[in-house]
Amino acid sequence: EPEVTQTPSHQVTQMGQEVILRCVPISNHLYFYWYRQILGQKVEFLVSFYNNEISEKSEIFDDQFSVERPDGSNFTLKIRSTKLEDSAMYFCASRTDRGRGQPQHFGDGTRLSIL
Amino acid sequence: AQTVTQSQPEMSVQEAETVTLSCTYDTSENNYYLFWYKQPPSRQMILVIRQEAYKQQNATENRFSVNFQKAAKSFSLKISDSQLGDTAMYFCAFMKEGAQKLVFGQGTRLTINP
């Protein structure tokens, strides 16, 4: 069964550095998402992406965050200048556009640790 | 704004028992979708079951079934004949019709004991 894949599985970065998290969505999916889960807390929506543009974003997704689909297969989340509070598990998800209310399929996540 | 509440932070049952995880939500929408996701220690979020709010029939997937009570805004998950591999964090999630984002509950950590 096709899967969403995320790399790296764990990223350790110094505060203030830029970080790029990578995702390869399921190949025939057209909607892409990033979520994050701070340790011990809820999974929170960050951003959705469709037709090469952001379709919705949360308050968390400020100017320090950006997303890109650079080559038709990868979907990336960039954090420009990381802060300690960016430490979290980041999940990528994708879904098909066929049918209503189709479920989102998640990757294994990238654990981001900011030092 | 929609909210999802899972009132049971942790649950523990013996293998082969039946367990029910509760979920309530708050919305003014009439059309929406509800999901249960499982997150085992391997951490991948796996879809367990999906319910469409405009369908009265409760969704079932093998040993997993839901009790969807639209008026009460309740969406509980029943796991029958529980197995050790069911040990995981379980998240209830809500998505309104036409929306993009999932709204998650806090999760219930379920442990199946041998």
CA distances from A73 to A26, A66, A69, B44, B52 (A): 9, 17, 7, 20, 30
CATH of domain A5-114: 2.60.40.10
Q: Residue B90: beta bridge partners?
A: B38, B108
Task: State phi, psi for B85 to the nearest 5 degrees.
Answer: -70, -5
Residues B16-49, buried b or exposed e (16+ Cβ, 10 A)? eeebebbbbbeeeeeebbbbbbbbeeebbbeebb
- CATH code at position B80: 2.60.40.10
Residues A109 and A7: beta-carbon distance below 8 Å: no
Residues A34 and A67: beta-carbon distance below 8 Å: yes
Spans of all domains in chain A: 5-114
Region of residue B81 (left: phi > 0; alpha: psi -120 to 50; beta: else): left
B69-106: per-residue pLDDT in tens? 999 999 999 999 999 999 999 999 999 988 889 999 99
Average pLDDT, chain B: 94
In this prediction, residue B56 carries a pLDDT of: 85
CB contact under 8 A, A108 and B44: yes
Disruptive mutation site among A29, A31, A42, A111 for chain B (greatest number of B CBs within 10 Å): A42
CB contact under 8 A, A103 and B103: no
Total count of domains within chain B: 1
A100-113: per-residue pLDDT in tens? 788 999 999 999 99
